[in-house]
C-alpha cells in the first residue's frame, strides 16, 4: 500500500486553479532534459490538452505542495495522437472512438520525490479509474528510468512516433491493456 503523499483527482476545470504548480513540477522533473522543456511550450501543451473531452489528472500532494501528477484523456475519432507513427502497425491499431484508448500525456514527479513510489501510485490510481480497453503513452527512448518503470508496470513497446511539431524528439510508443 502506498503511504506517501495524498492523491487527488482533478478535472480540467479544477486543475486550472493549480496550473502554475503543474508547470513548476514539470520544469523541476525535466531540469536536465534540454531546451524543449520550457514553461512556454508546456503551457501551450496544457492549453491544447485540457479542453479535450474527458481530460483528467491525478495529483500527489505533500501538505500544500504538489510533488507529482499524471494526466491524460480518451482519444477521440478526431485524434492526432497517432500522427507521425513510424513503421507498420496492426490493421485497426490507429482507430479511435473516444472509448478505446486513454492517452497518458504526462507522468511527472519532482526530482526530490522520485524513486519513492509516487509515480507508480499516480499511474495505478489513474489507470485504475479508467474503463477504456487500453492506455497509450510516448516515452523518450533514452529515458532509461521511465523505460524500466514502464517495463515493470506491464507497458509494451509497439513502435516509434515523431510528433509533427518543430524540433519534436522521437518517442517510443507503448500500450497497456486497462479497463474491464
Tell me the mean pLDDT in the region 151-175.
91
CATH topology assigned to domain 6-177:
Aminopeptidase (3.40.630)
Average pLDDT score over the chain? 93
Tell me the mean pLDDT in the region 99-111.
97
Give dist(CA 53, CA 176) in Å, integer. 21
Give dist(CA 54, CA 136) in Å, integer. 15
∠ Cα 49 46 137 (to 5°): 60
The CA-based dihedral angle spanning residues 74, 158, 154, 2, taken in that order and rounded to the nearest 10 degrees: -50
Q: How many CB atoms lie within 10 A of CB 26?
A: 22
Residue 40 is placed in which grid cell?
A: 512556454
pLDDT tens, position by position, 66-81: 999 999 999 999 999 9
pLDDT above 90 for 179: no
H helix or E strand, kind and range, residue 134: strand 134-139
Note the pTM of the prediction, 2 decimals: 0.93
Give dist(CA 39, CA 133) in Å, integer. 33
**What integer pLDDT is reported at residue 35 of this predicted model?**
83
Instruction: Name the 3-class secondary structure at 105.
Output: strand
Tell me the mean pLDDT in the region 10-33.
95
Amino acid at each position: 500500500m502506498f503511504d506517501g503523499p495524498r492523491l487527488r483527482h482533478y478535472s480540467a476545470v479544477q486543475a486550472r486553479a493549480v496550473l502554475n504548480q503543474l508547470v513548476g513540477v514539470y520544469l523541476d522533473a525535466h531540469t536536465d532534459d534540454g531546451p524543449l522543456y520550457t514553461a512556454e511550450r508546456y503551457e501551450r501543451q496544457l492549453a491544447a490538452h485540457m479542453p479535450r473531452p474527458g481530460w483528467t489528472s491525478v495529483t500527489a500532494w505533500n501538505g500544500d505542495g504538489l510533488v507529482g501528477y499524471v494526466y491524460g484523456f480518451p482519444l477521440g475519432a478526431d485524434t492526432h495522437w497517432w500522427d507521425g507513427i513510424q513503421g507498420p502497425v496492426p490493421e485497426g491499431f490507429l482507430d479511435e472512438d473516444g472509448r478505446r484508448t486513454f492517452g497518458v500525456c504526462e507522468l511527472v514527479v519532482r526530482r526530490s520525490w522520485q524513486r519513492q513510489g509516487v509515480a507508480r501510485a499516480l499511474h495505478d490510481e489513474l489507470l485504475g479509474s479508467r474503463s477504456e480497453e487500453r492506455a497509450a503513452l510516448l516515452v523518450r527512448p533514452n529515458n532509461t528510468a521511465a523505460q524500466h518503470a514502464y517495463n515493470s508496470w506491464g507497458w509494451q513497446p509497439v513502435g516509434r512516433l515523431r510528433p509533427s511539431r518543430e524540433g519534436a524528439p522521437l518517442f517510443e510508443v507503448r500500450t497497456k491493456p486497462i479497463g474491464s
